[in-house]
Chain A
Amino acid sequence: MSAILARGLTKKFGAFTAVNQLDLDIAPGEVVGFIGPNGAGKSTTIRLLCGLLRPSAGTAIVAGFDIARQAEAVRAHIGYMSQKFSLYADLTVRENLRFFAGLYRVPEAEFENRSAFAIDMAGLAGREDALVRTLAGGWKQRLALGCAILHRPPVLFLDEPTSGVEPQARRRFWDLIHAQAADGVTILVSTHYMDEAEYCNRIALIDAGRLVAMGSPGTLRGRHLGGALFELEGAPLGAALAALRQMAGVIDATAFGDGLHVLLRDPQDAPALPEKLRAQNITASAPRPIMPSLEDVFVQLVSHHAATP
Chain B
Amino acid sequence: MKLRRLFAIAYKETLQVWRDPRSLAVALLMPAMQMVLLGYGVSLDIRHVPLCVYDQEQSQISRALVADFTDGGWFDIVSYLPDERALRAAMDRGTCAGALTIPVDFTRVLTSTGTANVQTVFDGTDANTTNIATGYAQAIVAQASADFQSRWGQAHALPAPTRGVVDLEPRVWFNEGLDSRNFIVPGVVAVILALVGSQLTSLTVAREWERGTMEQLISTPVTALELMFGKLAPYFLIGMLDAAFCLAATVFWFDVPFRGNLLALTVTTGLFALVVLGIGYLLSVRIHNQVGASQVALLVTLLPTTMLSGYTFPIDQMPLAVQAISLIVFARYYVTILRAVFLKGSPLAWLAAPVFALIVTACIIIWLAARSFRKRLD
Contact of A291 with B by CB under 8 A: no
How many angstroms between the C-alpha atoms of A5 and B5 in the bound complex? 30
How many angstroms between the C-alpha atoms of A87 and B216 in the bound complex? 8
How many angstroms between the C-alpha atoms of A99 and B227 in the bound complex? 12
Which among B212, B218, B219 has the highest number of chain A CB atoms within 10 Å? Answer: B219
Query: In the assembled complex, which residues on chain A have CB atoms less than 8 Å from the CB atom of B11?
Result: 98-99, 102
Contact of B215 with A by CB under 8 A: yes
Contact of A276 with B by CB under 8 A: no
How many angstroms between the C-alpha atoms of A100 and B222 in the bound complex? 10
Query: In the assembled complex, which residues on chain B have CB atoms less than 8 Å from the CB atom of A71?
Result: 375
**CB within 8 A of B216: which of A54, A86, A90?**
A86
Contact of A82 with B by CB under 8 A: yes
Contact of B177 with A by CB under 8 A: no
Contact of A256 with B by CB under 8 A: no
Query: In the assembled complex, which residues on chain B have CB atoms less than 8 Å from the CB atom of A75?
Result: 219-221
Contact of A78 with B by CB under 8 A: yes
The reply to whether A54 and B376 contact each other, CB–CB distance below 8 Å, is yes
Contact with A along B1-24 (1 / 0, CB 8 A): 010110111011001100110000
Contact of A105 with B by CB under 8 A: yes
How many angstroms between the C-alpha atoms of A72 and B5 in the bound complex? 14
Contact of A85 with B by CB under 8 A: yes
Chain A, residue nearest B220 (CB)? A103
Chain B, residue nearest A88 (CB)? B213
Contact of A76 with B by CB under 8 A: yes
The reply to whether B220 and A86 contact each other, CB–CB distance below 8 Å, is no
Q: Given A91-B15, A95-B12, A82 and B4 touching (CB < 8 A)?
A: no
How many angstroms between the C-alpha atoms of A104 and B226 in the bound complex? 13
Chain B, residue nearest A13 (CB)? B378
The reply to whether A105 and B213 contact each other, CB–CB distance below 8 Å, is no
Query: In the assembled complex, which residues on chain A have CB atoms less than 8 Å from the CB atom of B223?
Result: 72
The reply to whether A104 and B216 contact each other, CB–CB distance below 8 Å, is no
The reply to whether A82 and B212 contact each other, CB–CB distance below 8 Å, is yes
Chain B, residue nearest A159 (CB)? B215
Contact of B211 with A by CB under 8 A: yes
The reply to whether B15 and A95 contact each other, CB–CB distance below 8 Å, is yes
Give the secondary structure class of B's interface. helix
Contact of A242 with B by CB under 8 A: no
Query: In the assembled complex, which residues on chain B have CB atoms less than 8 Å from the CB atom of A78?
Result: 219
Query: In the assembled complex, which residues on chain A have CB atoms less than 8 Å from the CB atom of B376?
Result: 51-54
Contact with A along B140-180 (1 / 0, CB 8 A): 00000000000000000000000000000000000000000
Interface size class of A (residues with CB under 8 A): 20 to 34
Contact of A80 with B by CB under 8 A: yes
The reply to whether A91 and B220 contact each other, CB–CB distance below 8 Å, is no
Chain B, residue nearest A73 (CB)? B221
CB distance from A97 to the nearest CB of B (A): 11
**CB within 8 A of B377: which of A47, A88, A98, A104?**
A47
How many angstroms between the C-alpha atoms of A95 and B13 in the bound complex? 11
Query: In the assembled complex, which residues on chain A have CB atoms less than 8 Å from the CB atom of B9?
Result: 99, 102-103
How many angstroms between the C-alpha atoms of A85 and B212 in the bound complex? 7
Query: In the assembled complex, which residues on chain A have CB atoms less than 8 Å from the CB atom of B222?
Result: 103
Q: Given A82-B212, A100-B220, A88 and B5 touching (CB < 8 A)?
A: no
The reply to whether A84 and B212 contact each other, CB–CB distance below 8 Å, is yes
CB distance from B325 to the nearest CB of A (A): 39
The reply to whether B219 and A80 contact each other, CB–CB distance below 8 Å, is yes
How many angstroms between the C-alpha atoms of A90 and B9 in the bound complex? 14
Chain A, residue nearest B17 (CB)? A90
The reply to whether A91 and B16 contact each other, CB–CB distance below 8 Å, is yes
**CB within 8 A of A91: which of B7, B12, B221, B378?**
B12
The reply to whether B212 and A72 contact each other, CB–CB distance below 8 Å, is no
Chain B, residue nearest A144 (CB)? B216
CB distance from B370 to the nearest CB of A (A): 16
CB distance from B300 to the nearest CB of A (A): 28
**CB within 8 A of A53: which of B4, B20, B211, B377?**
B377
CB distance from A65 to the nearest CB of B (A): 12
**CB within 8 A of B5: which of A81, A86, A91, A102?**
A102
Q: Given A52-B377, A102-B7, A105-B5, A86 and B16 touching (CB < 8 A)?
A: no
**CB within 8 A of A82: which of B2, B8, B215, B375?**
B215
Interface residues of B in 198-228 (CB under 8 A from A): 211-213, 215-223
Which among A87, A99, A103 has the highest number of chain B CB atoms within 10 Å? Answer: A103
Contact of A50 with B by CB under 8 A: yes
Q: What are 26 A-B interface contacts by the 8 Å CB criterion?
A: A52-B376, A53-B377, A72-B221, A75-B220, A78-B219, A86-B213, A86-B215, A87-B216, A88-B213, A89-B211, A90-B16, A90-B20, A91-B12, A95-B12, A99-B8, A100-B220, A101-B8, A102-B9, A103-B8, A103-B9, A103-B217, A103-B220, A103-B222, A104-B221, A105-B4, A105-B5
CB-CB nearest 8 A-B residue pairs: A102-B8, A86-B216, A84-B212, A80-B219, A103-B220, A76-B221, A82-B215, A99-B12
13 further A-B contacts with Cβ under 8 Å, apart from A91-B12, A102-B9, are A13-B378, A82-B212, A82-B215, A82-B216, A86-B211, A86-B216, A98-B11, A99-B9, A100-B220, A103-B5, A103-B9, A103-B220, A104-B221
Which residues of B are in contact with A by a Cβ distance under 8 Å? 2, 4-5, 7-9, 11-12, 15-16, 19-20, 211-213, 215-223, 375-378
